[in-house]
Structure 1
Amino acid sequence: MMIIETPPDWPADEPAALAVQDELRTRVVLDEPGPPPATGLVTGVDVAYDDERDVVAAAAVVLDAATLTVVEEATAVGRVAFPYIPGLLAFREIPTVLAALESLTADPGLVVCDGYGRAHPRRFGLAAHLGVLTGLPVIGVAKNPFVFSYGELGPHRGDFAPLLADDGEEVGRALRTQDGVKPLFVSVGHRVSLEGACAHTLHLASRYRLPETTRRADRLCRIALEQAKAGT
């Protein structure tokens, strides 16, 4: 399997990455509602790491948003593009994620990341970064709240509580996708409203805690990583 190389102008250290975040963050679009849930196509992206070999595998899985059936799948394997620094994890993944997305023949439609958008200390997580670079509508759906707090939320599917920064800004929502299970943490990446992001998440998580986009992309990137390891 071909290994995607890191772009030659990719940031190599923390100051360079922070400068890129500062510049790209100004391009995030927050005043669009995004596509209606259950319409068009929706694409899940996820990554898996082989830390010993410094390799990352990315998967992009396109679903019909209405039926949640798979339309197309693509993977890419690349070198880890950046050191592990909290708040800058997108720089480790994006070149390979972009390669997977660019391999698709279908328009990705809405993209769902296993990560953060606005719910990020610098308001520019993977979902926002990917949205600005591609121009696509993107949301972040994470399993953990990172550094933000939230209040009590009800026990039922669809119950939510605001995810709050220290200054009181609502940067996302803790959203319960199934009765009695732990919530997910939804935030806007690019060109989607927070209400729309939550509605998409609930539609995509009709049977399980995680959205079907994330479940399928997670499985596929792990397969791609194992195939890459077997080929080395």
Structure 2
Amino acid sequence: MRVKNLHGWDLDYKQARALQEELAGKLRFTSFDKKPKLVAGLDCAFSKDGSRIGAVIVVMRWPDFEIVETAEAVRPVQMPYVPGYLSFREGPACIAAAMKLKHVPSVFIIDGQGTAHPRRMGLASHLGLFFDRPTIGCAKSRLTGEHDEPGPEKGDYAWLWDDNEKIGAVLRTRTRVKPVYVSPGHKCTRQDAIRIVLQCTTKYKLPEPTRIAHQLVTKMKPRI
């Protein structure tokens, strides 16, 4: 898969913040109104000493979730952990894995935030610009914003707000199970993100592509 070369990664936090603010203006939230053919899940894990990061992408056929292809990559960690700058830690490994893909996914579901980010530039949004493909952030925890509790049934959701701006949704993907935080990354809308995550969720909390990506990157950890 071809990936854009938008910028380098040797940045300090001030430079990284300025870059996020610049790139946020390039995001596009166009409607993704067709059914996806190939859905990719992406997840990362760190080495035991925290000096390296591994990324796994699994490409699945929708709607039967047959695995079509997997790709993985390992890269050194270039930035210490600070909330809001995850893409500068995980991005290089994710991009290296994506460049190995022979199939081009219709959409990526990424374990991280999209616009549900203080500068609207979470990992899913950042990678969306590199991939130039529709991306969705589906995170297990909240980074920023406030919300009401969604209803208890699968498919119930509440909007996630930052002041008066709607930045994502808190989505129940399994009845009476803790919700996930869903937001568009690039080239899709909030409603598209909710719909696609639900279409890719079976009997588990996580969508199948990211659930399997998580399993594969966990198995990969001893080799990172």
Q: Deviations over 1:101-128 (max 9, x none)?
A: 1101001220011010110011110011
Q: Is the 8 A contact 1:81 1:95 kept in 2?
A: no
- Quote how far apart the aligned CAs of 1:224 are: 2.2
1:48-197 equivalence runs, <5 A = 48-165=45-162, 167-197=163-193
- SS of match in other structure, 1:84: coil
Name 1:29's counterpart in structure 2.
28
Distance 2:137 2:34 in 1: 16
**Mapped contact 1:154–1:160 kept (Cα < 8 A):** yes
Structure 1 letter corresponding to 2:210: T
Distance in 2 separating the partners of 1:10 and 1:145 = 25
Question: How far apart, CA to CA, are the structure 2 residues paired with 1:18 and 1:158?
Answer: 34
Distance in 2 (CA, whole Å) between partners of 1:64 and 1:54 is: 34
Deviation at 1:12, TM superposition (A): 2.8
Does structure 2 conserve the Cα–Cα contact (< 8 Å) formed by 1:117 and 1:139?
yes
Deviation (angstroms), 1:147: 2.0
The answer (yes or no) to whether the contact 1:81–1:93 under 8 Å persists in 2 is no
Amino acid in the other structure paired with 2:200? L
Taking the aligned partners of 1:53 and 1:146, their CA distance within structure 2 comes to: 21
Distance 1:128 1:44 in 2: 14
- Is the Cα–Cα contact under 8 Å of residues 110 and 138 in structure 1 kept in the other structure? yes
Is 2:215 the partner of 1:219? Answer: yes
Q: Deviations over 1:125-156 (max 9, x none)?
A: 00110001111100000111222211132110
Partner of 1:16: 15
- State the one-letter code of the partner of 1:182: K
Task: Note the C-alpha offset of 1:85.
Answer: 1.4
Q: Partners of 1:40 and 1:14 in 2: how far apart?
A: 38
Answer yes or no: is the 8 Å Cα contact 1:77–1:224 preserved in 2: no
User: For residues 146-179 of structure 1, what are the alpha-carbon distances to aligned partners after superposition, in whole Å with 9 as ceiling and x for unaligned?
Assistant: 22211132110101101011x2211001110111
For structure 1, the 5+ residue unaligned runs are 1-7
**Counterpart position of 2:38:** 41
Q: C-alpha separation between the residues in 2 aligned to 1:96 and 1:152?
A: 34
CA distance in 2, matches of 1:105, 1:133: 17
Q: In the aligned structure 2, how far is the partner of 1:49 from the partner of 1:36?
A: 35
Q: What is the root-mean-square deviation of aligned Cα atoms in Å?
A: 1.6
Q: How many residues align?
A: 219
TM-score (normalised: structure 1): 0.90
Q: Which runs of 4+ in 1 moved over 6 A?
A: none
Give the distance between the partners of 2:8 and 2:111, measured in 1 at CA. Answer: 26
Q: How many Å separate the matches in 2 of 1:136 and 1:13?
A: 27
Gap change, CA 1:124 and 1:108, over 3 Å in 2:
same
Structure 2: give runs of 5+ residues left out of the alignment. Answer: 1-6
User: Amino acid of the residue matched to residue 193 of structure 1?
Assistant: T
State the one-letter code of the partner of 2:9.
W
What secondary structure sits across from 2:60 in the alignment?
A: strand
TM-score normalized by structure 2? Answer: 0.93
Residues 200-232 of structure 1: CA distance to partner in whole angstroms, max 9, x if unpaired?
11111121111111111111112222123xxxx
Q: Give yes or no for contact 1:35–1:110 (8 Å, CA) kept in 2.
A: no
Contact 1:36 1:196 in 2 (8 A): no
